[in-house]
Chain A
Amino acid sequence: MSERTVQVTVNGVPHEASVEARRTLTDFIREDLRLTGTHVGCEHGVCGACTVLLDGEAVRACLLLAVQVDGREIRTIEGLATGEQLHPLQEALRDCHSFQCGFCTPGFVMTAVALLEEGATPNEEELREELSGNLCRCTGYQSIVAGVAEAVQRVNGSGGTAGSSVGSDAQRVEEISR
């Protein structure tokens, strides 16, 4: 099978690699670029674990071919922190003990980053809807919703979450963590 050269910027760093047409973006990121922060769950677009940002929009990397991102810009979980300084979303998720095993984490985080960077201030129902494309098998989702709601409040202002049960959950979790 013929291979194609793909040039892509990932987390601000330009990369070039030769790939088969059938190479998915997930495998390209993990195997060719050795950025293993992006996780592979179902490989057919159901679980959301491989979510990355393509030109700023959340997409499932397992449903894109590497040849389709030639000339485009990708952001992955590795691109969020600046040195030792966590992204405000990562800090909020840590403060709320949002995750357990960590398998679904990069997908949730990249989905939520896209939401935050749009300046969204979703209420609890809207937030649950936005996160519903990512599956978690540990937490029961409460802690993840609380963490993202906390990040929304810190980054985009109080928005629609004020007074909702999500806000108070986040506060309670924070108090416990202290």
Chain B
Amino acid sequence: MKPAAFEHHAAGSVEEAVSLLAELADEDVKVLAGGQSLVPLLALRLASVGHLVDVNGVAELTSISNGDGLRFGAVVRHRQVERSPEVAAANPLLAAAVRRIGHTAIRNRGTIGGTVAHADPAAEIPAVLALLDGSVEVRGVDGTRSIAAAELFDGYFTTTLEPEELLTSVHVPALPAGTGWSVQQFSRRSGDYGIVTVLATLARDGDGRISAARVAYAGVDAVPLRSSVAETALVGQTASPELWTAVGHDAAAVLEPSSDLNGSAEYRRHLAATLTARALQQASERAGGRA
């Protein structure tokens, strides 16, 4: 239960972190952000590293900016997101999703860049990125590039970042005014990863018909998923409890979750159907006058 020995490098800037990653590329180097996932993996010796490049002291990665959507430096803590009035105003769905992460003590250290780079298939923020077509910016020795959410998540705990690249910022589009939203999650204990998490946004036109809909899942596949089945079935329809139930059922039917100690594939599909109906109901109630 103690990590194996490694070397620790406190990076003072993005440039320094990136050059350390390149320099130590052949010696099992990992980036240390909040450490709320990496340190347990090291303690349990499920992972071992030769070197940690600690980016907690990189001041340029600690701010939130609000312009064309919200942009978060990679080491912005979850607690900072949770408490930001700007986030609450521009994207209440993100503010609600971030509160579902672990506990206060975890959110005091855990970072938005860390959870995205870690790519846990049950994690909330990767699903928010999938839902809203967010993106990340990464820096390598050869320069900067942007990766869209749809191109970022590549499998269980795997992203398309190169080993020598550092995730520097996370971009989450704002919710358009009048868009309703919902975060529905089921876990057996408060603060655990959701067994299934459903995120939804919904907008209605003047006639009350659904003009836009997005639905995303965490915990049902190796990566966060968008539901084209649900989104296609919703647009143009009139809101009703029967619609939510039918869409939840159809969207869940095409999911292919795996079974584990937390629940069988069948149970996860059941949760997905139920939580989808609840998410759509709540998003619909919030659409129009934003609650």
Contact = CB atoms under 8 A, between A and B. Distances in A.
Dominant secondary structure at the A interface: mixed
Contacts of B108: 54, 57-59
B106 A60 contact: yes
Contact of A59 (B6, B10, B105): B105
Interface in A5-25: 20-22, 24
B4 A22 contact: yes
Contacts of A67: 8, 10, 54
A114 B39 CA distance: 23
A45 B7 contact: no
Contacts of A63: 35-36, 39-40, 109
Given A57-B108, A67-B10, A45 B36 contact: yes
Interface string B30-55: 00000110011011100000001010
Given A22-B2, A65-B8, A133 B39 contact: no
Interface in A123-139: 128-130, 132-133
B97 to A, nearest CB: 16
B259 interface: no
A22 B105 contact: no
Given A64-B35, A114-B104, 15 more contacts: A1-B5, A21-B7, A21-B8, A22-B42, A24-B3, A24-B39, A24-B43, A27-B2, A43-B43, A45-B36, A45-B39, A58-B105, A63-B35, A65-B39, A130-B104
Contacts of A54: 108
Contact of B109 (A43, A64, A111): A64
A68 interface: yes
A61 B190 CA distance: 21
Given A22-B2, A57-B108, A129 B190 contact: yes
A125 B5 CA distance: 42
B209 interface: no
Contacts of A20: 5
Contacts of B10: 67
A2 interface: yes
Interface of B: 1-8, 10, 35-36, 39-40, 42-44, 52, 54, 56, 79, 102-106, 108-109, 189-191
Interface in A61-87: 62-65, 67-68
Nearest to A42: B1
A59 B108 CA distance: 7
A128 B191 CA distance: 11
A59 B44 contact: no
Interface of A: 1-2, 4, 20-22, 24, 27, 43-45, 48, 51, 54, 57-60, 62-65, 67-68, 111, 114, 128-130, 132-133
Contact of B105 (A4, A24, A68, A133): A133
Nearest to B52: A21
A111 B5 contact: no
Contacts of B191: 132-133
A133 B101 CA distance: 11
Nearest to A65: B8
24 contacts: A2-B7, A4-B8, A21-B5, A21-B8, A24-B2, A43-B1, A43-B2, A44-B1, A44-B39, A44-B44, A45-B40, A48-B103, A54-B108, A57-B79, A57-B108, A58-B104, A62-B39, A63-B36, A65-B8, A67-B10, A111-B105, A129-B190, A130-B103, A133-B105
A133 B2 contact: no
A108 to B, nearest CB: 11
Nearest to A21: B8
A18 B106 CA distance: 27
Most chain-B CB neighbours within 10 Å: which of A51, A60, A64? A60
A52 B108 CA distance: 12
A15 B1 CA distance: 26
A70 to B, nearest CB: 8
Given A68-B56, A133-B191, A59 B8 contact: no
Nearest to A118: B104
